[in-house]
Amino acid sequence: MRIGGGFSRLYGVLIYVSLAVIIIGLFLETYLGGEISEGLMLGGLLIMILSPIVGVVYLALYYLKKDRWALLYSIIVLVIALVNLLYCFGF
C-alpha cells in the first residue's frame, strides 16, 4: 500500500471520530447543557488536536526501515510535540 493510502485512511478515521464526539457534545449542549456536553466537546477537540501528532507517529513507523533521514525528522517532530505537551500540562 502506498504511504498516502494508509495515511489518508488513518486521517479519515480520526476526523470522523473527533467530529462525531464534537457533534454529540454540541447536541447535548444545545438541548441539555451541563458538564457531560462540555466534556464531550473537549474530548473531541483533544482527539482532533492530537490527530496530526498521531499522523507523525504513523509516518515514523512507516519510515522505520525505509528511510533513516525521514525517520529522524519524524522523531524530532515528535520529541518537540511531546516536550511541548508535557510542559504545557505541567509535568
Using CB under 8 A, list all residues that contact other proteins: 2-5, 7-8, 11-12, 14-15, 19, 22-23, 25-26, 29, 38, 41-42, 44-46, 48-53, 55-56, 59, 63, 67, 69-70, 73-74, 76-77, 80-81, 84-85, 88-90
Question: Of the candidates 74, 72, 25, which has an alpha carbon nearest to the alpha carbon of residue 48?
Answer: 25
Whether 37 and 25 have beta carbons less than 8 Å apart is answered as yes
* Strand segments (E) across 3-91: none
In the complex, the smallest distance separating the C-beta of residue 65 from other proteins, rounded to whole angstroms, is 15
Question: Least distance (Å) from other proteins to the CB of residue 83?
Answer: 9
- Kindly compute the dihedral angle of the four CA atoms of residues 81, 82, 85, 91, in this order, to the nearest 10 degrees: -160
What's the closest the beta carbon of residue 4 comes to other proteins, in angstroms? 4
